[in-house]
Structure 1
Amino acid sequence: MVDRVIAINPGATSTKIGYFENDTLIFKKEFTYAYDEIAKYDSIMEQYDFRFKDIVDWLESNHMSKGSLDAAVGRGGLLPPVNAGAYVVDDAIIDCLTYHPVLEHASNLGASLARGIAEKFGATNCEAYIYDPVTVDQMDDIARISV
């Protein structure tokens, strides 16, 4: 069985995607955006529609359709401190990153983009994940004293 996974990394002025079959990168794409194009949005989350459309259009041009993916993974956003690892994207994560993020950051779009792509291109039981959000915190309490 081949595991088909897309990884999505939204950055300040770009969105990078990679499509993998098992451990092999099959194709990758970077969408870049001019500062003026990004600046017209009041918040990071308002950029969802145009970034999502770029990804969808490109995947469709590469013959991807419903059932093409087993998982979608987005860059983890600025959640409250969490342990390292993978997290299934659920309504609570989307709500936190949309309405209560630690800070505004492009990575906050990762969960929403992964969920949208999983819904559009996923096989049955396709999940959306985030992995190692940038707020991973596994520091021992005693270590915090010296910080």
Structure 2
Amino acid sequence: MNKFKILTINPGSTSTKFAIYDGQEAELEINLKHDTTQLKKFNRTIEEFEFRKEAILTALHQKEVEFESIDAISARGGLLKPITGGTYIVNQQMLADLKTGIYGEHASNLGALIAQEIAEEFDIPAYIVDPVVVDEFEEVARVSGHPKFERKSIFHALNQKAMARKASTDLGVDYQDLNLIVAHLGGGISIGAHKQGRVVDANNALDGEGPFTPARSGTLPAGDLMRLSFSGDYSLSEVYKMIVGQGGLTAYCGTADAKEIEEKIKGGDQEAGFYYRAMAYQVAKWIGAVGTVLKGEIDAIVITGGIAYSKIFTEMIIERIGFMAPVKIYPGENELKALAQGALRVLNGREEPKIYN
């Protein structure tokens, strides 16, 4: 297998992470944290393009990176039309959709745009890998309960797919031949049913489905939410912030930091302990629900994401779901490596690149 050098780019809401990979090994990793006062001067995400691109180039020049040695650029995919999982060539249709923000605005939209501009200068390919809009749902999974609402596939596709592949390697079985449940535990929490290489169901981790998280409310009682929304006491934006950003542990305990919660628990804060257990309870319950999608035929359950570093939290989950299948824990988000791996599968001829249209 040939070794290729890959520049990976992952723009987040207040940071830009990027790395140089030589094969699957990181030679350089940088996390640029952006001052929120700098970002506030931009009215739209697309306006941050030059600012973010120059920040990346400046940091790479300071590290004396030789751009001529880079074989490809692989970026986090943004909000695009629903697509199947895989590695996609950055093309003009993709760039146009990201520039207009027709499917929504998010910092991840900038990944392909920055990648393409740098790639053109050095005549190398640019890719995106498993964006959050990966949609491989079975049709029955789209049904919500009312025809005016359809369940959408929005989840941590990049890390979920990468960790599912890691589990398949550890199990010695092809990803396409396994049934897995993958739970990504971070600021948002997504739980996906991976059926022979396709994520056939997952909770909408963006805005209001699944277990509550450090900052999101998850599924709320619909009637109570409706009555609160029409009470006249809250605006639409205030209600949305209750669901996304100021829900979950933030609402219950005043912080979204799991480490801080655990420190409170160690200090004897019983209320913090109760809500931490409640979050683990809900995660376990959703894993159980996803098990029914796979009809109980589960080869392994994978727990990943930042909170997977917490032995306390993962043990609370495992004591409820351990009977279902073997549990594998891969802490962290691993997104930069997943981006490199996606490009490498194409460059090594193991996977055909996909076309966005």
Q: Given the two structures, how large is their TM-score scaled by the length of structure 2?
A: 0.39
* Alpha-carbon offset, residue 66 of structure 1: 4.2
* Alpha-carbon offset, residue 41 of structure 1: 0.4
* Alpha-carbon offset, residue 39 of structure 1: 1.0
Structure-2 separation of matches of 1:54 and 1:145: 43
* Alpha-carbon offset, residue 99 of structure 1: 0.9
Q: Which residue of 2 aligns with 1:134?
A: 132
Which structure 2 segments of 5+ residues have no match?
Answer: 145-150, 152-357
Residues 55-107 of structure 1 deviation map (CA, whole Å, 9 limit, x = unaligned): 11111122224422111011000001000111100111000011143111000
Structure-2 separation of matches of 1:6 and 1:90: 18
Q: Which residue of 2 aligns with 1:60?
A: 61
Which structure 1 segments of 5+ residues have no match?
Answer: none
* Alpha-carbon offset, residue 18 of structure 1: 1.1
Q: Which residue of 1 aligns with 2:28?
A: 27
Q: Which residue of 2 aligns with 1:94?
A: 95
Structure-2 separation of matches of 1:119 and 1:60: 18
Q: Which residue of 2 aligns with 1:70?
A: 71
* Alpha-carbon offset, residue 145 of structure 1: 1.5
- Secondary structure at the counterpart of residue 113 of structure 1: helix
Deviates more, 1:16-25 or 1:59-68: 59-68
Structure number with the bigger relative contact order (C-alpha 8 A, sep ≥ 6) is: 1
1:80 aligns with 2:78: no
- 8 Å CA contact 1:3, 1:70 repeated in 2: yes
The one-letter code sitting in structure 2 at the alignment partner of 1:145 is V
* Alpha-carbon offset, residue 2 of structure 1: 3.1
Structure-1 separation of matches of 2:30 and 2:101: 30
Q: Which residue of 1 aligns with 2:15?
A: 14
Residues 17-60 of structure 1 deviation map (CA, whole Å, 9 limit, x = unaligned): 01100110111001111211111101111101011011111111
- Secondary structure at the counterpart of residue 118 of structure 1: helix
The one-letter code sitting in structure 2 at the alignment partner of 1:74 is A
Structure-1 separation of matches of 2:51 and 2:141: 42
- Bigger helix fraction: 2
- Secondary structure at the counterpart of residue 132 of structure 2: coil
- Secondary structure at the counterpart of residue 129 of structure 1: strand
1:143 aligns with 2:144: no
Structure-2 separation of matches of 1:64 and 1:5: 12
1:110 aligns with 2:108: no
- 8 Å CA contact 1:77, 1:110 repeated in 2: yes
- Secondary structure at the counterpart of residue 95 of structure 1: helix
Structure-1 separation of matches of 2:107 and 2:34: 12
The one-letter code sitting in structure 2 at the alignment partner of 1:135 is V
- Bigger strand fraction: 1
Q: Given the two structures, how large is their TM-score scaled by the length of structure 1?
A: 0.91
The one-letter code sitting in structure 1 at the alignment partner of 2:61 is E
- Secondary structure at the counterpart of residue 20 of structure 1: strand
The one-letter code sitting in structure 2 at the alignment partner of 1:106 is A
Q: Which residue of 1 aligns with 2:158?
A: none
- Secondary structure at the counterpart of residue 60 of structure 1: helix
* Alpha-carbon offset, residue 114 of structure 1: 1.1
- 8 Å CA contact 1:101, 1:108 repeated in 2: no
Identity of aligned residues (%): 35
For the pair shown, the structure with the greater C-alpha radius of gyration is 2
Q: Which residue of 1 aligns with 2:285?
A: none
Q: Which residue of 1 aligns with 2:50?
A: 49
